Amino acid sequence: MRRTLVGLFVVAAAVALSAQRKQEAAVAEWVRSTAIQLQTVEAGHGFADLQPLKRVVGNARIVSLGEATHGTREFFQLKHRLLEFLATEMGFTIFSIEANLPEAYRLNDYVLRGVGDPRQLLRGMYFWTWDTEEVLDMILWMRAFNASGRGRVQFTGFDMQTPTVAMEIVRTFVARYDAPYTTAIVRANDEIRAMAGPAPFGVATSTFPVAVSAGRRVRYRGFIRTAGVTRGYAGLWWRVDGESGVLAFDNMSSRGVTGTSEWARYEIDLPVATNARNINFGALHTGDGTAWFDGLTIEVDGVPYTNQSFFDLDFESPTPRGFAVGGAGYEVQLDRQVVSSGSQSLRMAYRFAPSLPGLIDPARVSATWKEVVRYLEANRATYRSRGATEQEIEWATRNAIVVLQGVQMRTNEVSRDRSMAENVKWILDQSPNEKIVLWAHNGHVAAGGFGGGGFEPMGSTLRTMYGTEMVVFGFAFNQGSFQAMGRPSGLSTFTVAPAPAGSMDATLAAARIPALAVDWRRVPHAGRGAVISPWTSEQQKTRWVGSTYFENAPDNFWIELRTREAFDVTLFIDMTTAARANPR
């Protein structure tokens, strides 16, 4: 009897799998017969193959462009081409990217008037994800397009994670038009810094000469070993500061060393802007247990930096020469028992949890910045009477809101995606008759489709606000390469095999079209649609890579979502390559 039941289960499973494969084949055939075939992903090749997208976009005021990874060259190139098409052929005049609002707006001065160095401005948005050749090419095209007189397109951003520039914009405005309130703003800024200050950790800090590294790329490496790190992590860190704040920073927060591990080499690779004013670097241990550091090395544009007159990178001196070491609750000292090379290493051992009376409750900071926003709003008329333009007042107020949004993200009062949607709305409200192209990850532009869990992406909020005035393009791919942060080597290129059978990506690949756009809103509900329509409404597996990727856990980088709920259109690339670094 048991054998009979097992046999029945096997037969049933085989029948179900066969039905699934037939459904996927039907979807692939429908895609093959109806998809818009893209002749190239590169801009500058005309728009003949893109003409059907005019019907797809229709009268939409928002076109959202996603991406299945943050590091795919063809995705970035295709977004550039679509922006070129939408600006040239369909009257779109605003571009906005998943980057800090005030930092992104600095690029607007370049694309509209040619002010500034686009390479440095791109790096000034902090994100390595956009610091690429492909994004730079798009920015250069935007400048040329604006200069040609053929049209006008702005560069904006809608994120709010880093408050540095926004805080300074608010302070500068208040100092000019409301000097007595400056003290309150300085105090509010100090609260942000105190809140943002990390909990005590073990740290070694040194300074690197700007003169030998400005305008170049630095590779910083070192060996790390850990024992009993059950929370927090150990890592290297490197920070580049300019007049406007932090220009580049990596502290291995997404790939730090945990647990108990043997000696292994880790790496940070960062650009040093030509306008850098200060560089600090070192090692840190943020958790419990013990971490050891040894054999630090630095390369500038691939050339080893061998001058150790400022510091001892091997920790062989009687003291950690050139490094300030310490950390509340940590013992940081040289160790002659555990070494990777030479006779000494630097050991950071957690000893106790100190009291933290100096740190400020984020809820208090949120209340402070709510009051700042309220005050600026209430005094608009006063500022106008003192000579401030409406644009200046609005810009200062928005930056105060950006600071508040960053705090509210930390207090879980308002999600990052909700704030990004509000910032998109603000950008559109400033130009009520204009149309916008958005650039972000699939997870942000998606209008839904995730099932339960309570997560509301930016796209879902915007769908509620704008309805059919928004068209969402998700991106997918079959196989190839992309760049992402990986452990332990930092920013790396990863290559993945063809998508597995049963995934949405494999089903699209079965259409055998190298690059395509498929409009899920056109799926029929009768005839073939009886097979196809349910597939688009059911959860399908698709690749989902953000800023990190780990080759030893590839299954973690897939997600199941209902395709038609998430995206109106999917743009699919069969074979991809990694995005390329912003040329120096």
Co-location of 328 and 461 in the same domain: no
Q: Which residues pair with 282 in a beta bridge?
A: 205, 237
**CATH classification of the domain holding 483:** 3.40.1660.10
Helix/strand/coil for 120: helix
Any domain includes 545: yes
Co-location of 256 and 292 in the same domain: yes
CA distance 202 to 218: 24
What is residue 75's predicted lDDT score, i.e. its pLDDT?
98
**CATH classification of the domain holding 293:** 2.60.120
CA distance 415 to 131: 25
CA distances from 10 to 5, 7, 288, 289, 501 (A): 9, 5, 50, 50, 19
pLDDT beyond 80 at 417: yes
Q: Which distant-in-sequence residues (6+ apart) come within 8 Å of 68 by Cβ? A: 75, 442, 474, 475, 476, 477, 542, 543, 544, 545
Average pLDDT on 429-449 reads 95
Co-location of 450 and 506 in the same domain: yes
Q: What is the pLDDT of residues 552-574, one digit of tens each?
A: 878 888 988 999 999 999 999 99
Co-location of 216 and 345 in the same domain: yes
Q: What is the mean pLDDT of the chain?
A: 89
Co-location of 219 and 308 in the same domain: yes
Co-location of 441 and 565 in the same domain: yes
The total number of structural domains in the chain stands at: 3
Co-location of 204 and 343 in the same domain: yes
Last residue in a domain, options 333, 350, 367? 350
Q: In this structure, what DSSP letter does residue 421 have?
A: H
Half-sphere exposure of 295 (CA within 13 A, CB side): 15
Last residue in a domain, options 305, 322, 350? 350
CA distance 144 to 87: 13
Place of tokens 């608009």: 380
CA distance 284 to 266: 13
How would you classify the pairing of strands 62-65 and 470-486? parallel
Higher-scoring residue by pLDDT: 296, 361: 296
- Which of 342-356, 388-402, 439-453 is predicted least confidently? 342-356
Give me the domain span that covers residue 377.
164-194+359-415
Any domain includes 157: no
Any domain includes 209: yes
Check: CB of residue 580 under 8 Å from CB of residue 134: yes
Any domain includes 136: no
Query: CA 479, 47, 43 angle in degrees (round to 5)?
Result: 55
Any domain includes 259: yes
Co-location of 374 and 448 in the same domain: no
DSSP strands (E only) in 91-208: 94-100, 154-159, 202-207
Any domain includes 36: yes
Any domain includes 318: yes
Last residue in a domain, options 322, 350, 378? 350
Co-location of 177 and 207 in the same domain: no
552: number of Cβ within 10 Å? 7
Average pLDDT on 429-434 reads 96
Co-location of 404 and 475 in the same domain: no
Any domain includes 149: no
Q: What is the pLDDT of residues 496-522, one digit of tens each?
A: 999 999 999 999 999 999 999 999 999
Check: CB of residue 41 under 8 Å from CB of residue 31: no
Co-location of 49 and 63 in the same domain: yes
Q: What is the pLDDT of residues 100-129, one digit of tens each?
A: 999 999 999 999 999 999 998 998 887 788
Q: In the chain, count H helices and then E strands.
A: 17, 21
CA distance 430 to 436: 12
Check: CB of residue 558 under 8 Å from CB of residue 494: no
Half-sphere exposure of 280 (CA within 13 A, CB side): 11
- Token reading at 54: 């005019």
CA distance 385 to 401: 23
Co-location of 213 and 247 in the same domain: yes
List alpha helices for 326-473, DSSP H: 362-378, 380-385, 390-411, 416-430, 442-445, 458-466
Element (H, E) at 493: strand 490-496
Q: What is the pLDDT of residues 25-35, one digit of tens each?
A: 989 999 999 99
- Token reading at 489: 């080597």
Four-point Cα dihedral 370, 372, 374, 378, nearest 10: 180
What are phi and psi for residue 353, nearest 5 degrees?
A: -95, 110
Element (H, E) at 549: none
